[in-house]
Amino acid sequence: MLVSPDNLASKLHDGLKPLYLIHGEETLTKLEAADAIRAAARKAGYSEREHFVVEAHFDWSLVTQSSDNLSLFATQRIVEITINTAKPSVDAAEFLAGIAADPPPDTLFIVILQKLDRAATDSAWFAACDRTGVTIAAPLVERDALPRWVKARLTATGFDASREVIDLICERCEGNLLAAKQEIEKLSLLVKPGKLDVDDVLGAVADVARYDVGELSEAFLRGDLPRYGRVLSGLQAEGEQAPRLSWQLSEDVHALGSIFMARRAGVPMVQALRNARVWGKRQKAMEVATNQIDPRRIATLLKQCATLDAQSKGQAPGDAWLTLGGLAALAHGALAL
């Protein structure tokens, strides 16, 4: 049974299943789901807990022996398995399929995995777990969904927040959902429930945002210059290396140039994007860029990228970070050619 994290509490209230499988990239969502299941299990009388951490070459017989040997003092137990490998091994798949087919008595399993690919979620072992128990997906809370998440958390904490307040919290906590939760909890200790204003947030919420190179690329392509500056500063503060950023933005400019040429030749946008090897979320940002960036700027941008590459490697005078800072403005017309 597939259950969303938001509906997990009501499903637990309806009764416990012998197996809960939690998978995905969002650490906080997985932690909270596991906490909720443990709390419901303890309330139902599960008084003993064992936890196994699965790395490469893990001996699954240890879990089997544990499941077969009930305690003399506790008749109900929680067996928690955290699988840290990129994907479940053959032994893991066999074990999970086995307990799904014949769950041990008086035992509740909580299995926590990394993000599963399509092959894993289409597999026989996953289908068996879904039939017998509950599967919970914990995808990343993307930037577009973060304001809704923050608003819901603030409301649950007793705060009435304006969009300006929500945006400020998102800006300071983006890419770090666990920190966002902690900062909202800190607000609840420092500020009385009710109307929440910007000054309250500025005084209490630390800047704990985390970014990656893909977010810099997206801001560059979309022409979101304030965000581009924030992401670039964040990456520099986190110790990111300028050559990697230079390579990514150069790839963006080369791809954009290829798309412009293909479009002039009558190639449909979808095919032009594929030919330029632009995939996933980057496709939408690249489409935005084709409508915002003047094709006549491509040659200048390519020269600037070459300069940036040399600067980032210490092979040309100038500060690569300053050049990076101006590249988006140059692309979108905020700086003259």
How crowded is the C-beta side of 34, counted as CA atoms within 13 Å? 23
**The pTM is what?**
0.69
Rounded Cα gap, residues 178 and 122, in angstroms? 30
CATH number, residue 153: 1.10.8.60
Position 75 scores a pLDDT of 76
Write the burial class of residue 142 (CB in 10 Å: 0-12 exposed, 13-18 middle, 19+ buried).
Answer: exposed
Is 94 contained in some domain?
A: yes
* Same domain membership, residue 134 and residue 9: yes
* Same domain membership, residue 130 and residue 10: yes
* Same domain membership, residue 12 and residue 134: yes
* Same domain membership, residue 153 and residue 131: no
Report residue 334: phi and psi, to 5°. -75, -15
Is 337 contained in some domain?
A: no
* Same domain membership, residue 307 and residue 218: yes
- Whether 169 has a pLDDT exceeding 90, the answer reads no
Single-letter code of the amino acid located at 273: L
pLDDT digits (tens, 9 = 90+) for 87-124: 888 999 999 999 999 998 889 999 999 999 989 999 99
Q: Whose CA is closest to 273, among 264, 263, 265?
A: 263
* Same domain membership, residue 119 and residue 57: yes
Q: Give kind and range of the element (H or E) at residue 49.
A: strand 48-54
DSSP string, 64-116: HHHHHS--SS-S-EEEEEEE-SSS--HHHHHHHHHHHHSPPTTEEEEEEES--
Is 244 contained in some domain?
A: yes
pLDDT digits (tens, 9 = 90+) for 188-235: 888 888 998 888 787 777 667 778 898 899 999 999 999 899 899 989
Q: Which residue range forms the structural domain that includes residue 233?
A: 213-331
Position 269 scores a pLDDT of 93
Rounded Cα gap, residues 146 and 123, in angstroms? 31
To which residue do tokens 């919290």 refer?
Answer: 169
Q: Whose CA is closest to 293, among 324, 334, 321, 251?
A: 334
Position 204 scores a pLDDT of 75
* Same domain membership, residue 259 and residue 180: no
- Whether 74 has a pLDDT exceeding 60, the answer reads no
* Same domain membership, residue 82 and residue 29: yes
